[in-house]
Amino acid sequence: MRRMPAAIRPAPRPPRSRESREGPPGFNDAESPLAWLRARRGPTGSPLISDEQFLAGERLRADFERAMLNARTTTNWELAGGGSRSATAAADLSDAALAAGERYHRALRSVGPELAGILTEVCCLAAGLEQAERRLNLPQRSGKAVLGLALTALARHYGMLGAQPDLLHGILRWGVEGYRPAIPPAAGPGEA
């Protein structure tokens, strides 16, 4: 077996402490498409996604994981006779999972079915943009734009964008000041 040159070999992971071995593994930011997009810069030098978009996507992913919506291929041993667990531990976990699932589905309903697919693929299932484009039958190289729109709608749902003007309900007329022509006053009956 050939060894990789030291220059391209990944750095070894630090050993996990005893406390971190007992809990569930954390999420690896290096594998997150959102973290990748946040770290990259566009042609103007700004990040490809804003902090609000990143936080909204991470919040959706957290609810997805808490709701345990990932498809399992093995048995879930977390609830199996641990002996030291109280009788209500399973009920508490179930209530937390149901609440997270409701938050997740509410968020997807708020962005609409057109944008929910790319949020699920990229934020929750950690699919890359090209993979999400193929799965959702999107045109090539359009995933970044669609994801940006979806993350903005999601951040708006979570209230992360602050007060946004309601443009549709604030329009009273389609014109600027002085767009109407001046109409001279009508002449009286004896005036010509």
Give the separation between CA 124 and CA 109, rounded to whole angstroms. 15
pLDDT of 5-60, one tens digit each? 554 444 444 444 444 444 344 556 667 899 999 999 988 999 999 999 999 999 99
- The ranges assigned to domains in the chain are 28-70+88-161
pLDDT of 42 reads: 87
Is 71 a residue whose pLDDT tops 70?
no
Percent of the chain with pLDDT over 90: 46
pLDDT of 185 reads: 82
Is 175 a residue whose pLDDT tops 80?
no
Of 83 and 116, the structure prediction assigns the larger pLDDT to 116
pLDDT bracket for residue 70 (50, 70, 90) = confident
Residue 121 phi/psi, 5-degree rounding, is -65, -50
Is there a contact between 68 and 91 (Cβ–Cβ < 8 Å)? no
pLDDT of 119 reads: 96
pLDDT of 22 reads: 42
Of 102 and 190, the structure prediction assigns the larger pLDDT to 102
